[in-house]
Amino acid sequence: MELERILHKHGFGTRKGCRAIVRQGRVTVNGAPCADPFADFATAGLVFTVDGVAWPYREFATLMLYKPVDYECSRKPKHHPGVLTLLPAPLRERDVQPIGRLDEDTTGLLLITDDGRLNHVLSSPKHKAAKIYLATTKHPVDAAQINSLLAGVVLHDDPLPVRAAAAEVVGENLLRLTLTEGKYHQVKRMVAAAGNRVEALHRAALGELTLPQDMQPGEWRWLEAADFAKLGLEEKRP
């Protein structure tokens, strides 16, 4: 693929603007400077830099973000900054969007992509991706509440009971809850229906995918092949 097209695909501006970036000597490819915007490169394993910042070639941009509190997952946030403002401008230019949503006061693992097919698969109830949350509750969690969550609680807008795939006490006021659905405010509403209240909420995992221990709120990183496997998507590759 021509270098100009690579830069354009990765959100570095118009084709004309990308040609200018290359001719200004601001780009290296696999460690070597390149001033020819029409130079052709194999994309497999390719890493280029713009102004000293390294970018791996990605057919689709798929990444994980450690969502902080007081950020909205909407592309048109109303009351707080949007999570996309935490990403570099080239990624935003690729028209990435969150896969599902976390409430503005919820923290934790959020996936973001410009791959529409992947977004559909992971958002679909058919995929049944396990979403694991840690909920800090107002009152101590007891066995009766756990039993209610596992047996199923009735939400005001749904006559059918909604069940947790797993629920366990991990602290006096800390509940670990696993869901395979994605209803609006589901964790908070289920906990309320079981007789308690969520004071803070953190998404710890999607399937077997967790946030790296050294990752801080507001940070992001690319998803790699091993990460896709943890989501039950072995056929996907970065």
| Alpha-helical regions (H) of 54-178 | 89-93, 116-123, 143-151
Cα gap 133→206, rounded to integer Å: 9
36 has catalytic annotation: no
Catalytic residue among 40, 95, 103, 157: 103
Burial of 49 (0-12, 13-18, 19+ CB in 10 A): middle
Q: Is 150 within 8 Å of 143 (Cβ atoms)? A: no
Cα gap 84→75, rounded to integer Å: 8
Closest among 151, 152, 173 to 162, alpha carbons compared: 152
CA 194 to chain centre: 29
> Token match 């943890």: residue?
230
Residue type, 85: T
Cα gap 51→228, rounded to integer Å: 30
DSSP 234: T
Which residues have CB under 8 Å from 158's CB, separation 6+?
183
> Token match 């101590």: residue?
140
Active site residues: 103
